[in-house]
């Protein structure tokens, strides 16, 4: 089982890994998490806009404003370790 | 009867237990609460998106931004103890 | 007649009593108010989601984020004392 | 003519008097203003939900969260004194 | 030509004069501006709700919460002086 | 090429000049920018509400609340200098 | 691979380069990023409103309020370097 002191610890561990980002406007981004701050502003590398598991656009390096984000799921971490608890 | 000094005390007690999270966008998440902060940003483990009691997606470890959350219900605590007051 | 110095004084008096909570998403909760803070985050015990005076769901102990709340009406206080002024 | 230094001075004078409160969700409340704070959180006594000048619900003592309020009109003050300027 | 150091200087000059207030909910108020604060909370005297230049309701003295306001136009100042620049 | 240290430097240079202001409610204002503050509250002189390049209303001097603004484009600066870089 | 300490570092590197800006109102701007601040207020030079890869309007120098922005993608940086990681 994981133990994170604070929610941002998960984002810290996810740096350099691929994450799924759900936006409030119904769209999803997939990309490598490069940076985040306390407002949950993030930078993704190799950002792809995904609709129904299909890539619609390649946006490359992208700054996403935190207040437009619903959730961030570091898929690789989740998949690899979900059998451990 | 419970006595919590502050609302966040309930979230503190719910750490490591399964919670139901209602989002503003009509969706619900179920998962184990690993961390939270004063903005109600949370980390869930084994996150499942649930629609009408049916699991739609497995998201694994997920960071959820606090301002998208309506309520968090630590179901296990509620069910076990609801007969005590 | 009541005299409250500050609005939160009413919530303080309502602790341990049943309240009606109107959410911005058109839903209502009924439950016993256990805790609140300055953001109007609250914890309800024995929370029931009510639609047209009919109970739809039992949520048990629930943390409700303050910014989703329109009003909180401590019905028991209101009914018992409304004849006094 | 009135002279208020600050907008909250009007709410201070309206304490103990009946006010009309317009909410962002299109509903109106009528009740006696008992308390308010700088967030415009208020407590109303004998709160009635009014639609088209018709009382729909009696809510009694009610805490209303400030960010759901559009305006507060202390009708008695307005009517009594509107002929004076 | 006018020179205001800060936007609130216009509201200060408009005190005691009639203003048009556009709300985010599509409605307009006309009334005499009595007070304002840095949140743009205002108090209007002799407030009238106006739809298509037609008075719908007389609200008298009214406190309007700043975050519901789009613009405030002190019509008298604007009309009298618009020929000067 | 321009070099602004901070975004507000552009608004500072635009003082006294005509600007196009896009509001969140789909409307546009054209007027002379007289003042602004860090919340992007602004005062426009000779404000005109424009829909499809057509003037609908003359509002004169107007205070516009910053949180209703999407963008401010000082057209004269843009047009005169756009050939320089 | 890039390493940014903070999300704003990307915006700093993007200064003087063309960026794609997605607004919450479904519109997109393309322009040269001249300035930004911690609220993500930005100034774009040679701003073009783009709909479906087609230029609709030329806005020239434009101040865009940060809270209307979903993402900022410095396309040139993204394209040139996307083959490097």
Q: Flag whether G17 is in a domain.
A: yes
Q: Which residue of D has its CA nearest to E36?
A: D7
How far apart are the C-alpha atoms of C25 and A3, rounded to whole Å? 33
| Res B82: pLDDT | 34
Nearest to D45 by CA among F71, B29, C74: C74
CA dist E70 and D68 (Å) reads 16
Q: What value does the mean pLDDT take over residues G49-74?
A: 93
Rounded Cα distance between C66 and D64, Å, is: 11
Q: Do G43 and F10 touch (CB under 8 A)?
A: yes
On average, the pLDDT of chain B sits at: 86
Asked if the structure places residue B59 within a domain, the reply is yes
Residue A17, in any domain of the structure: yes
Verify E-F touch: 3 or more CB pairs within 8 A.
yes
CA A6, chain centre distance (Å): 17
Phi then psi for residue A45, to 5 deg, are -110, 140
pLDDT of residue F65: 98
Q: How much is the mean pLDDT over chain A?
A: 86
User: Rounded to a whole number, what is the largest CA-CA distance in chain B?
Assistant: 36
Q: Per-residue pLDDT for C81 more than 50?
A: no
Of the two residues B67 and E77, the one the predictor is more confident about is B67
Domain around F15 = 7-81
Tell me the pLDDT tens digit for each residue of B22-50. 999 989 999 999 999 999 999 999 999 99
DSSP codes of every residue in G9-70 = HHHHHHTTSEEEEEETTS-EEEEEEEEE-TT--EEEEEEEEEETTEEEEEEEEEEE-GGGEE
> pLDDT at position B4, please?
79
Residues 6 or more apart whose CB falls under 8 angstroms from that of B83 comprise: none
Task: Tell me which residue in E16, E45, E63 faces D11 most closely, judged by beta carbons.
Answer: E63
Q: Could you list the pLDDT tens digit for every one of the 85 residues in chain D?
A: 566 789 999 999 999 999 999 999 989 999 999 999 999 999 999 999 998 778 889 999 999 999 999 999 997 544 433 333 3
pLDDT at B68: 98
CA angle D60, D24, B20 (to 5 degrees): 80
The residue ranges of chain E whose pLDDT is under 50 are: 77-85
The per-type count for chain D, helices as H runs and strands as E runs, is 2, 5
- For residue F57, is pLDDT > 80? yes
d(CA G14, CA G2): 13
Pairing verdict, β C42-51 and F28-36? unpaired
Strand segments, DSSP code E, in chain D are: 18-23, 28-36, 42-51, 54-64, 69-73
C71 pLDDT higher than 70:
yes
Chain A nearest-CA distance from G34, in A, is: 16
Q: How confident is the model at residue C3 (pLDDT cuts 50, 70, 90)?
A: low
Return d(Cα D44, Cα D30) in angstroms, integer.
8
- Alpha-carbon gap, residue B63 to B44, rounded angstroms: 7
**Chain A CB contacts of G52 below 8 Å:** none
Residue C11 CA to residue C43 CA, distance in Å, equals: 12
Please say if the pLDDT value at position C85 is more than 70: no
How long is chain D?
A: 85
Both structure tokens of G44: 């774009």
pLDDT of D82 = 35
Residues of E with CB under 8 A from a CB of F: 1-11, 20, 24, 40, 66-67, 69-75, 77-79, 81-82, 85
Cα(D10)–Cα(E37) distance, rounded to whole angstroms?
12
- A78 falls within a domain: no
Contact predicate F32/G20, CB 8 Å:
no
For the residues F60-77, what does the mean pLDDT come to?
90
- State the average pLDDT over residues G45-65: 92
pLDDT of res. F5: 87
Structural domain includes residue C66: yes
- In the block, which residue shows the tokens 């989740």? A78
Give percent of chain C with pLDDT exceeding 70. Answer: 85
Mean pLDDT estimate for chain C: 86
Residue % of chain A over a pLDDT of 70: 85
Q: Is D59 within 8 Å of C81 when comparing Cβ atoms? A: no
Q: Judge: G36–F5 Cβ closer than 8 Å, yes or no.
A: no
**Rounded CA gap, C5 and C8, in Å?**
9
CB A50 within 8 A of CB A56: yes
Distance in Å, alpha carbon of D78 to nearest chain E alpha carbon: 5
pLDDT at A76 over 60: no
Length of chain A: 85
**Closest residue in C to B83 (Cα–Cα):** C46
Measure the CA–CA gap between B72 and G79, rounded to whole angstroms. Answer: 42
G48: pLDDT strictly greater than 70:
yes
Question: G78 falls in which pLDDT band (50, 70, 90)?
Answer: very low
pLDDT of residue F80: 35
Which chain G residue lies closest to A43 (C-alpha atoms)? G7
Residue with tokens 């204002």, as numbered in its chain? F29
Q: What is the ipTM of this complex?
A: 0.88
Token output for F19: 């600007």
Q: Check whether F19 has a pLDDT greater than 50.
A: yes
Residue G33 and residue A63 in contact, taking contact as beta carbons nearer than 8 Å: no
Residue that has been written with the tokens 């240290």 in this structure:
F5
Against chain B, the chains showing at least 3 CB pairs within 8 Å are: A, C
Interval E62-85: pLDDT, tens: 999 999 999 999 975 434 333 333
What's the pLDDT at G63? 98
**Has residue C63 got a pLDDT over 70?**
yes
Cβ contact A62–G71 (<8 Å)? yes
Nearest to G33 by CA among F2, F37, F70, A59: F2
State pLDDT tens for residues A34-48: 999 999 999 999 999
Residue E55 located in a structural domain: yes
Chain G residue numbers touching F74 (CB-CB < 8 A): 61, 63
Q: What pLDDT does residue B8 have?
A: 97
Residue B3 has a pLDDT of 66
Question: How many structural domains compose chain D?
Answer: 1
Residue A2's pLDDT is what? 63
Please indicate, yes or no, if residue A27 is contained in any of the structural domains: yes
How would residue A78 be classed by pLDDT, with cut points 50, 70 and 90? Answer: very low
**Residues G21-43: tens digit of each pLDDT:** 999 998 999 999 999 999 999 99
Higher pLDDT, F36 or C85: F36
3-state secondary structure of D9: helix
pLDDT at residue B63, as a whole number = 98
d(CA F73, CA G45) in angstroms, rounded, equals 10
Whether C1 maps to a domain, the answer reads no
> B9: pLDDT confidence band, cut at 50, 70 and 90?
very high
What pLDDT, on the 0 to 100 scale, is given for residue G73?
97
Nearest to A10 among B16, B63, B67 (CB): B63
In DSSP notation, E51-83 reads ETTEEEEEEEEEEE-GGGEEEEE-HHHHHHHTT
Is residue G52 scored above 70 in pLDDT? yes
Question: Going by beta carbons, is chain G in contact with chain F, meaning 3 or more pairs sit under 8 Å apart?
Answer: yes
Would the pLDDT of F62 be above 90?
yes
For residue D1, the model assigns a pLDDT of: 53
Confidence grade of residue F53 (pLDDT, cut at 50, 70, 90): confident
Q: Which tokens belong to D22?
A: 């317009």
Q: pLDDT grade, residue B52 (50/70/90)?
A: confident
Chains meeting C at 3+ CB pairs closer than 8 A?
Answer: B, D
Q: Do F35 and E73 touch (CB under 8 A)?
A: no
Cβ contact C44:C34 at 8 Å: yes
Query: What are the DSSP calls for C5-71, one per residue?
Result: SSHHHHHHHHTTSEEEEEETTS-EEEEEEEEE-TT--EEEEEEEEEETTEEEEEEEEEEE-GGGEEE
Say which residue the tokens 């789909």 belong to: F26
**CATH number, domain containing residue F60:** 2.30.30.100
Cβ atoms D8, E42 nearer than 8 A: no
CA distances from D65 to A64, C49, C76, D42, E11 (A): 31, 20, 20, 7, 27
- Residue B68: DSSP 8-state: G
């Amino acid at each position: 089982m994981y133990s994170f002191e604070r929610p941002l610890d998960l984002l810290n561990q996810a740096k350099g890994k691929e994450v799924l980002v759900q936006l409030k406007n119904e769209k999803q981004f997939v990309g490598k998490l490069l940076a985040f701050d306390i407002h949950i502003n993030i930078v993704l590398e190799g950002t792809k806009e995904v609709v129904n598991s299909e890539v619609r656009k390649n946006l490359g390096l992208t700054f996403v404003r935190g207040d437009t984000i619903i959730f961030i799921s570091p898929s690789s971490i989740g998949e690899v370790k979900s059998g451990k608890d």
